[in-house]
Amino acid sequence: MIAQSFDYESPGTIAEAISLLQKYGDEAKILSGGHSLIPMMKLRFARPGYVIDINNIPGLSYIKEEDGYLKIGALTRESEIEHSGLLKSKYPIFGDVSKLIADPSVRNMGTIGGNLAHGDAANDHPAAMLALRAEIVATGEGDQQRVIPIDEFFQGFFATALKPDEILTEIRIPIPPEGSGGAYHKLERKVGDYATAGVAVQLMLDYGVCTYIGIGLTNVSALPLRASRSEEILLGKTLTDDLINESAQYASEDCSPSTDLRGSEEYKRAMVKELLIRMVHRAMDRAVAE
Amino acid sequence: MSKKSITLKANGAEHNVIVEPRLLLVHLIREVLNLTGTHIGCDTSNCGACTILLNGKSVKSCTLFAVQANGKEITTIEGLAQGGQLHPLQEGFKECHGLQCGFCTPGMIMRSCELLANNPDPTEEEIRWGISGNLCRCTGYNNIVKAVQYAANKMKGEAVTA
Amino acid sequence: MEIQCKTSKEISGMGHPMKRKEDARFIQGHGRYIDDIKLPGMLYMDIVRSPYAYAKIKSINAEKALAIPGVLAVITGKDLEKYGLHWMPTIMSDTQMVLPTDTVMYQAQEVAAVIATERYIAADGADAVEVEYEPMKPIVDPHTSLDKDAPLLRPDKPGKTDNHIWHWEVGDREATDELFNKAEVTVKEQIYVPRIHVASIETCGCVADYDKIENKLTMFMTTQAPHAIRTVIALVAGHVGLTEEKIRVISPDIGGGFGGKVPVYPGYVIAIAVSFLVGKPVKWIEDRSENLQADSFARDYHMTCELAADKNGRIQGLRIKTLADHGYTDAAANPSKFPAGMYSIVTGSYDFQTAFTEMDAVYTNKPPGGVAYRCSFRVTEAVHAIERMVDRLALEVKKDPAELRMENFIKKEQFPYKSALGWEYDSGDYHAALKKAMDIIGYDELRKEQAEKRKEGKLMGIGISSFTEIVGAGPSRHFDILGLKMFDSCEIRVHPTGKAIARFGTKSQGQGHETTYAQIIAEELGIPAEHIQVEEGDTDTAPYGLGTYASRSTPVAGAAAAKAARKLRDKARKIAAYLMEVSEEDLEWEPGKFSVKGAPEKSKTIQEIVFAAYTNHPLGMEAGFEAVHYYDPPNLTFPFGSYICVVDIDNKTGEIKIRRFVAVDDCGNIINPMIVEGQIHGGLTQGLAPAMYEEFIYDEDGNLLNGTLMDYLVPTAVESPHWETDRTITPSPHHPIGAKGVGESPTVGAPPAIANAIVDALSHLGVTHLDIPITPFKVWKVLKEKGAAG
């Protein structure tokens, strides 16, 4: 398994990287963690003429709270997310997600930016980002930054709202108010597998009433999916078992999984339902514990 | 396709080599540096036989290009024993019968190195999750868990038993 | 069970948990595996493979490949045809393409080989070869293979008019049919044991190195059977001048074999042919995808199983009809007279009046194979059938499966026991093993807990498997491979200073032969195992043997070691008598020395005796201290065990959690308990694999849908439970050291224990059988059908 030959560039600034993207156009691929790209290249499913390695651009790896946002640099490794004290204490949903991505060695390379920019509905961060209503910061020519709401980011099969000469540089999440909690889980055939189905839930409780809700689904539709009807029915209500059930039922109806080695469409719909119920409960527990 | 000149430190020794950009790090290690203790078991970063430390972090060297290691430091299984003294993990694998065919062993040990660096006192569950990116077809993992526990105890200065 | 050691720890004979001698190199990265071998001027080979399962090759255009600097040649079937090397025989007397001249028979079949100066250039070359195919509709489902309108897959075979390969049967058909007609209770299930793959972490590969001046081929190769391979090469290529004395096969360290490194794959033959033609070493190393997609599969038996009993559950008769999917050729790795391997062990641990089993093998458009994935030739399939059926009967007669087993086991006093299908079991105590497993796991308590859980609507299951293995092929009157009798060998040379080298016809792939063989010799001669160097895998130096597979190393080569050592002990006695000037009868042996009866202060150590063999040997006696033994076993050995598995099932997601798994094994006398336990752990995880994770899935066009480790689900440390092991010891009466094989028992015994536990958890819902691998999806589906999905 050997990749086809390519030219390698390792820019030291974003501006340099952007100009290389402009120069090489379709023939270029950005290398971040590389654990989606490199296997594809080894199998010769991907044959870029130019690989632009952004790992030597400083200042793209951080986890911080600033200006009312949790900000995560695009080159932040999954392992850094998994072990971050800030995320562990205030955003446990990130730990849920990271721990289930591939394995520890892959997580030492894999980046959150790459996980999102790959535009793969089977990846795990997209669902959580939908639940958290994240914003994607894209940097283009002249260091121009553009903020893309997560709901507009995923556009098609392995396609995102990033322009050919833009690089995903940051993820921003509005800091959830007190009383918030989130959770993610996926069913997998074995550890490190892509999801059979995954559900991310972020919510806020105010004296038992749900004042914020975000629900994202993994690998049960062509794009990472927001379970809108499931959110609507919960918002502003006291979360009873019946209500949660109904919400879960909506999600199982609104997703569009396909039958494959991981199970039938029907199974996946049922799993979305079950996981949604479990994740709402786990998020509620965490919201109360906050 | 232009070749690249890269500099890296492998097991403490400085190397300057000119490589094709597509050269996988694992092939640099095995074919150019002749450190054949790092193995290749799959094409898809699933098996972990090629695990090494890159700047102290475990990575799968079959899923990095050698150029990505430019300016960095790698440690392979050959660099683990110091001054003729086996690393506690190497000792643990032997004492606890944590290997059979030996093919996954270097990767398993290198992965466990970082595991113990991050978590000097792991539970069985944490060890199992910690080595979940390294496949072993021979041992059934029981004794690998024991070997890592042995090394953890030894590194803490506690008495060890196989 | 406590092991009694006859030798001191310093000698470390049998029973000592000696640390492995081979580990020093493996833990420091100094193992020498096939891809570590690098020879001057070495070329690299990469293979072009078919994207189609069944297609005519219209053309192969190598122009673009040959234009790449560094690509030296592109080899096709037509090229090999010139030398009569485009086909090769299989062990089962079928034929297999090395490279096709006109038709490809399965997806990923070799189509052409590219030879280049570098590995990366060879890959570029393979990518650049253009092949034009005319795809045809393949046969994927073996059940349709014998349909009238099915295409004839092997028109190359003279006189062949259908896709049937062979029919095999054993037992008394009439008596069995009659018994079933009269039986009070009969049960029947369709049981499929799916197509799986050994997936050793090291793939296969070779370096073929033909020296034109010496006219000698050195073949470095990941093979479990180097000597047999040498003979096969000579038989296939003798006509072009490669005669057997000019062939040296070297099997270096092997990164796991499990049966997958027994066959000769086309890549090996091409590499030899190219090296022979160009006079340079040629390296070929498979990718993982090639390994999974094209190398020999295992299992793939569709079994219709029936059991007859009286109304109390007293087992009487067994009837099984099997359809075996062999792919496009029968390239199974069995003893030649056993097309279905040892499947006739299918009566298992039970005392049957009569039994009959028959099997039909068919061709399909899938890769060939039929290797014994860590099992002694189709024993896994047989054990799965019988252990599932015994549980099925227990359900039918409403008896606890443990009780039903206890009532039907062959009794200790019945050994040696002649089975209804003709085997003579050497020894066993099945009741003791099951009792021990039940005590360890707390069986009765678990049954009570299960009853409580059921009231709460929770799913919990307990599964038992009480298997009997048949290993150590085998007695030469029955067992051969292409006529080569299945003996094995040991040659011991003790140097003047009392240190030894021992060479064997087998080849370790992780079993620890360098340690265990040394321990056997230490036991017999009293020379410390530390001072006995064990060597295998080089046909120029080792005595001839049939290799390591089917748990035969200890039963056959281990016996040869003991026998060769005993020849030396006889010689030592003579020398000792001479040195001490007493008669041989006056000498007493204890490990490491002969002493004079009644005068223990008068003695000679083995080291003194060996030194004398070189410096002061008796007149008329040959000098030196060497012996060789070729051991032809009088019978096979029959290891056994009882496993109990406890599972909890999530009734909403179908997820299965193995709560506990207790394995009680009996492999007779134990050479090294640490290694035996390690073998059992590993085998259990390889039993878990097909029980819950591994299975090849083909679509209707014959495309393999899970041909990488992303989708072929090899269990990690997370899936694999914490195995609990224990033992009973029932020595083999016919084996020189009372040992049996062990490496494969757990792979054979674990799947039915797990399947039985899962079915047990669902049995109150009317579930009687689920095919392995039993996945959460499969469980959820059946819960849904039964209206019990939460």
Residue C63 class from Cβ within 10 Å (0-12 exposed, 13-18 middle, 19+ buried)?
Answer: exposed
C211 and C82 in a single domain? The answer is yes
Final residue in a domain of this structure, among B57, B79, B101? B79
Which of C590, C611, C631 terminates a domain? The answer is: C631
For residues C95 and C154, the answer to whether their CB atoms sit within 8 Å is no
Do C487 and C556 touch, CB atoms closer than 8 A?
yes
* Chain B residue nearest residue A54, CA to CA: B68
C161 within some domain: no
Question: A72: distance to nearest CA of chain B, Å?
Answer: 21
Q: What pLDDT is recorded for position C533?
A: 98
Same domain, C777 and C651: yes
Nearest residue to B106 (alpha-carbon basis) of B134, B74, B73: B134
Domain identity same for C432 and C504: no
Report yes or no on C153 lying in a domain.
no
Burial group, residue B32, by CB count within 10 angstroms (0-12, 13-18, 19+): middle
- Asked if C325 and C463 sit in the same domain, the reply is yes
Q: Is residue B161 part of a domain?
A: no
Do C752 and C624 sit in the same domain of this protein?
A: no
Taking the C-alpha atoms of residue B21 and residue B148, their distance in angstroms, rounded to an integer, is 36
Q: Residue B118 is part of which domain span? A: 88-155
- C185 in any annotated domain: no
Cα(C424)–Cα(C743) distance, integer angstroms:
21
Q: List chain B residues with CB under 8 Å of A20.
A: none
* Same-domain pairing of B74 and B98: no
CA distance B53 to chain C (A): 14
Which subunits have 3 or more CB–CB pairs within 8 Å of chain A? B, C
Q: Return the number of CB contacts < 8 Å for B and C.
A: 186
Residue C240 is predicted with a pLDDT of 82
Interface subset of C 293-352, CB within 8 angstroms of B:
none
Last residue of a domain, one of C220, C254, C285: C285
Same structural domain, B62 and B126: no
What per-residue confidence (pLDDT) applies to C789?
A: 83
Q: Would you state the pLDDT for residue C502?
A: 98
Q: What is the pLDDT of residue A290?
A: 58
> Is C375 assigned a catalytic role?
yes
| Cα dihedral C584→C590→C593→C598 (10° resolution) | -60
Same domain (yes/no): B67, B95: no
Question: Is C174 within the bounds of a domain?
Answer: no
Quick: pLDDT tens for B51-105.
Answer: 999 999 999 999 999 999 999 999 999 999 999 999 999 999 999 999 999 999 9
- Rounded CA gap, C156 and C81, in Å? 14
Q: Does the residue B69 lie in any domain?
A: yes
Q: Please, are residues A147 and A87 in contact by the beta-carbon 8 Å criterion?
A: no
Antiparallel, parallel or unpaired: β C247-250 and C216-221: parallel
Domains and CATH numbers, chain A: 7-53 (3.30.43.10), 63-174 (3.30.465.10), 180-289 (3.30.390.50)
Cβ–Cβ below 8 Å for C781 and A264:
yes
- Residue C639: inside a domain, yes or no? yes
Inter-chain residue contact C256 with B101, CB threshold 8 Å: yes
C574 with C511, same domain: the answer is yes
- The pairing of strands A145-149 and A180-187 is unpaired
Instruction: Give domain status of residue B104, yes or no.
Output: yes
Picking from B1, B44, B132, the nearest residue to A191 by CB comes out as B132
User: Please, what are the averages of pLDDT over each run of 10 residues along chain A (290 residues)?
Assistant: 96 98 97 96 96 98 98 98 96 97 98 97 98 98 96 95 97 96 98 97 96 98 97 98 98 98 98 98 91
Q: Which of chain A's residues have a Cβ under 8 Å away from the Cβ of C716?
A: 103, 190-192
Last residue of a domain, one of B79, B113, B141: B79
Handedness of CA C250, B44, C138, C324 (dihedral sign): positive
pLDDT (0 to 100) of residue C235:
87
The minimum CA-CA distance between A130 and chain B, rounded to whole Å, is 27
How many CB atoms lie under 10 A from the CB of residue A193? 18
Which residues in chain C have Cβ-Cβ distances shorter than 8 Å to B134? 716-717
The answer, for A189 touching chain C at a CB cutoff of 8 Å, is: yes
Structural domain includes residue C483: no
Are C607 and C641 found together in one domain? no
C523 and C612 both lie in a single domain: yes
Q: How many CB atoms lie within 10 A of CB C581?
A: 8
Q: Which residues of chain C have pLDDT under 70?
A: none
CB C694 within 8 A of CB C634: no
Asked whether A216 and A202 are in contact (CB, 8 A), the reply is no
Q: Answer yes or no: is B160 within a domain.
A: no
C212 and C264 inside one domain: yes
Q: In a 10 Å sphere around its CB, with 0-12 CB exposed, 13-18 middle and 19+ buried, how is residue C451 labelled?
A: exposed
B94 reaches C (C-beta below 8 A)? yes
CATH number for the domain that contains residue B60: 3.10.20.30
The tokens of C44 are what? 């690299």
Q: Are residues B24 and B74 in the same domain?
A: yes
- For residue C710, the chain A residue with the least C-alpha distance is A193
Question: Closest Cα to residue C508, out of C545, C549, C473, C542?
Answer: C549
Say yes or no: C231 and C376 in one domain.
no
Whether residue B162 lies inside any domain: the answer is no
User: Is C652 a domain residue?
Assistant: yes
Do B68 and B12 belong to one domain? yes
Q: What is the pLDDT of residues C289-327, one digit of tens each?
A: 999 999 999 999 999 999 999 999 999 999 999 999 999
- pLDDT band at residue B114, thresholds of 50, 70 and 90? very high
Directed axis angle between helix C226-237 and helix C266-278, to 10°? 60
Asked whether the beta carbons of C53 and C363 are under 8 A apart, the reply is: no
Both tokens assigned to C529: 């195992």
Domain around C569: 23-31+488-631
d(CA A224, CA A159): 11
Structural domain count, chain C:
3
What CATH number is given to the structural domain containing C346? 3.30.365.10
Which listed residue (C96, C109, C224, C519) is catalytic? C224
Preceding omega of C773 cis (within 30 degrees of 0) = yes
**Per the residue annotation, which of C20, C49, C374, C503 is the catalytic one?**
C374
**C115 and C237 inside one domain:** yes
Number of domains forming the structure of chain B: 2
| Distance between CA atoms of residues C738 and C529, nearest Å | 19
Whether B161 shows a pLDDT value over 90: the answer reads no
Instruction: Look at residue B61 and tell me if it is in a domain.
Output: yes
CA nearest A55 in B: which residue? B68
**C219 and C117 belong to one structural domain:** yes
User: Cβ of A191 and C718 within 8 Å?
Assistant: yes
The percent of residues above 70 in pLDDT, for chain B, comes to 100
Asked if the peptide bond before residue C416 counts as cis, ω within 30 degrees of 0, the response is yes
In a domain, C194, yes or no: no
Asked, for residue B12, whether it belongs to a domain, the answer is: yes
- Choose the final residue of a domain: C600, C631, C662: C631
Q: What crossing angle do the helices spanning C559-580 and C606-615 adopt, rounded to 10°?
A: 70
SS (H, E, C) C112-178: EEEEECCHHHHHHHHHHCEEEEEECCCCCCHHHCCCCCCCCCCCCCCCCCCCEEEEEEEECHHHHHH
Residue identified by tokens 């206890």 is: C406
CATH of residue C78's domain is 3.90.1170.50
**In chain C, residues 661-690 whose CB comes closer than 8 Å to chain B:** 674-675, 677-686
Residue with tokens 């060879």: C122
What end-to-end distance do the CA atoms of chain A give, in Å?
49
Q: How far is B77 from chain C, CA to nearest CA, in Å?
A: 6
Q: Which residues of A touch B2 (CB under 8 A)?
A: 7
